[in-house]
Amino acid sequence: MFATLVKASVAKKVLLTSAAAIAVAVAGCAPKDSTVKIGHVGPLTGSIAHLGKDNEAGAKLAIADLNKADIKIDGKKVTFTLISEDDGADPKQGTAAAQKLVDAKVVGVIGHLNSGTTIPASKIYSDAGIPQISPSATNPKYTQQGFKTTFRVVANDATLGGVLGKYAVNELKGKSIAVIDDRTAYGQGVADEFVKGVEAAGGKVVDRQFTTDKATDFMSILTAIRAKKPDVVFFGGMDAVGGPMLRQMDQLKINAKFMGGDGICTGELIKLADKSLGNNRVFCAEAGGVVGPYEKKMADFKERFKKEMGADVNLYSPYVYDAVMVMVEAMKKANSTDPKKYLPELAKIQYDGVIGPIAFDDKGDIKGGTLTLFTYKDGKREALKVIQ
């Protein structure tokens, strides 16, 4: 009897041990949470850090929203984390930042902000097979390099500069137009397209001058331009240079209309130009714009952005937000966070975003890209019209 009890006890222990072993094995095979790293790059320091931080805030809001959504990919709950790098709007720093993100094994990159940093960095991402979506780089060369990893969610300079050039002639009745650019990939690119637009509309460019994106003194080039008596001055560059340039135009009593691309089309220009801004003196275009039902969608986003991020939308944070969402939507469709597997889905994505419908052509440019024309009046930026 005792022996029988001992045998039964041993058998019970064996069964319990086996059950425990099976439970451990099953637990080891169960899907674990997965952390997915997405990179963001922009100028977080320097003269246009206000734009880089605006972009970064858009990415942070998107990541927060995604992590609230309890997303599962390949059977695993996914937690997204943002790795943000500062490129200082400098091409060399931009490529260094790109390599850091590659080394950190991010699965995708949102950025860069400037064309001058986006273009050289794009080769690094392409070589690593990492998808890159720029929310704001507009130079056409970015998507003309033959890389399969490059995308953008805004219209390019060919559209933006061309429309502004025609507007200068047809709407502002510019007879004598001067052009200045900062020699960056963005500034020179948008200025070149502006000149094409002017000439296509039958207008005349009477002078072309150059500066840098770090310059603060424009007296010599503005004096040369003043001699040509321009009624329109176009600047290809950013607001940090455009604002002081407007002030110096006033000092030299150049009373011309002032035009620029999205680089000057910011809320910050109001502070930078101060009284030189005037009313209906400055005209610019933002690469993007919403119409119809998307107007309310954008208004709601801006309200939520201010509440959650503690600042107004400056320029491209909604485009950054959508770029993150589009990238993750491609991962969901591929059921994978592996860049090789979700890249084909990204190329054929159809996504309804804050900024409107998002789909890419075979180069990676957004289909049906829009732009919005603005002026400044009573110290506020005022939309004139959206062009599709």
Q: 296-331 pLDDT, tens per residue?
A: 999 999 999 999 999 999 989 999 999 999 999 999
Instruction: Give the pTM.
Output: 0.84
pLDDT at 19 > cutoff 50: no
Every domain of the chain with CATH number 3.40.50.2300 lies at: 34-154+291-369, 158-286
Residue 44, classed as helix, strand or coil, is coil
Contact in structure between 208 and 182 (CB atoms under 8 Å): no
158-286 folds as Rossmann fold (3.40.50)
Tally the C-alpha atoms within 13 A of residue 275's C-alpha that lie toward its C-beta.
2
Longest dimension (CA), the chain: 119
* Nearest alpha-carbon partner for 363 in 144, 105, 214, 45: 144
Q: What percent of the chain has pLDDT over 90?
A: 85
CA dihedral (329, 324, 129, 187) in degrees, to 10, reads 140
Q: What is the pLDDT of residues 132-178, one digit of tens each?
A: 999 999 999 999 999 999 999 999 998 899 999 999 999 999 999 99
pLDDT at 20 > cutoff 60: no
34-154+291-369 folds as Rossmann fold (3.40.50)
As a whole number of angstroms, the distance between CA 14 and CA 27 comes to 20
Record the tokens describing residue 23, joined without a space: 């439970």
As a whole number of angstroms, the distance between CA 31 and CA 34 comes to 9
Record the tokens describing residue 28, joined without a space: 């080891």
Amino acid at 185: A
Mean pLDDT of 110-124: 97
Least confident of 7-21, 101-115, 264-278, 328-342: 7-21
Secondary structure element (H or E) that encloses residue 305, with its range:
helix 294-309
Q: Average pLDDT of the chain?
A: 91
Position 32 scores a pLDDT of: 59
Least confident of 32-36, 69-73, 270-274, 300-304: 32-36
Position 4 scores a pLDDT of: 43
Position 288 scores a pLDDT of: 82
Position 3 scores a pLDDT of: 43
As a whole number of angstroms, the distance between CA 254 and CA 234 comes to 13
Mean pLDDT of 21-34: 46
Residue 255 has a CB neighbour count (10 Å cut-off) of 11
* Nearest alpha-carbon partner for 163 in 289, 266, 284, 290: 284
Measured in degrees and rounded to the nearest 5, phi and psi for residue 50 equal: -60, -30
pLDDT at 108 > cutoff 80: yes
Measured in degrees and rounded to the nearest 5, phi and psi for residue 46 equal: 100, -175
pLDDT at 23 > cutoff 70: no
Q: What is the pLDDT of residues 193-226, one digit of tens each?
A: 999 999 999 999 999 999 999 999 999 999 999 9
Least confident of 27-36, 280-289, 354-363: 27-36
As a whole number of angstroms, the distance between CA 54 and CA 306 comes to 11
pLDDT at 248 > cutoff 70: yes
Mean pLDDT of 15-36: 50
As a whole number of angstroms, the distance between CA 3 and CA 151 comes to 76
pLDDT at 104 > cutoff 70: yes
Q: What is the pLDDT of residues 76-98, one digit of tens each?
A: 999 999 999 999 999 999 999 99
Q: What percent of the chain has pLDDT over 70?
A: 91
pLDDT at 1 > cutoff 70: no
- What is the sign, positive or negative, of the torsion defined by CA atoms of 43, 362, 154, 334? negative
